[in-house]
Amino acid sequence: MGKKRIIQQTEEELLKEREKVEARVKKEIRAEAPHKIREGRIYISSSYNNTIITLTDAQGNAIFWASAGNLGFKGTKKATPFAASKVAEAMAETCKKLGIEKIAVFIKGIGSGRESALRSLVARGLEVVSIKDITPIPHNGCRPPKVRRV
The average pLDDT across 17-46 equals: 74
- Here the CATH number for the domain that contains residue 45 is 3.30.420.80
Cα three-residue angle 111-62-41, rounded to 5 degrees: 65
User: What is the per-residue pLDDT across 50-99, written as a single tens digit (0 to 9) for each?
Assistant: 999 999 999 999 999 999 999 999 999 999 999 999 999 999 999 999 99
Total domains, the chain: 1
Q: Is residue 9 part of a domain?
A: no
User: What is the per-residue pLDDT across 133-150, written as a single tens digit (0 to 9) for each?
Assistant: 999 998 998 899 999 998
CB 4 within 8 A of CB 65: no
Give the model's pLDDT for residue 7.
67
| Domain with 69 in it | 26-133
In whole angstroms, what separates CA 126 from the centre of its chain? 15
In the chain, what percentage of residues exceed pLDDT 70?
A: 86
Q: Is residue 71 part of a domain?
A: yes
Q: Is residue 108 part of a domain?
A: yes
Give the model's pLDDT for residue 22.
73
Give the model's pLDDT for residue 2.
64
Q: Is residue 150 part of a domain?
A: no
Burial status of residue 80 (CB atoms within 10 A of its CB: 0-12, 13-18, 19 or more)? middle
In the chain, what percentage of residues exceed pLDDT 90?
A: 71
* pLDDT interval class at 12 (50, 70, 90): confident
User: What is the per-residue pLDDT across 34-61, written as a single tens digit (0 to 9) for each?
Assistant: 557 789 999 999 999 999 999 999 999 9
Contacts 24+ apart (CB under 8 A), 8-15: none
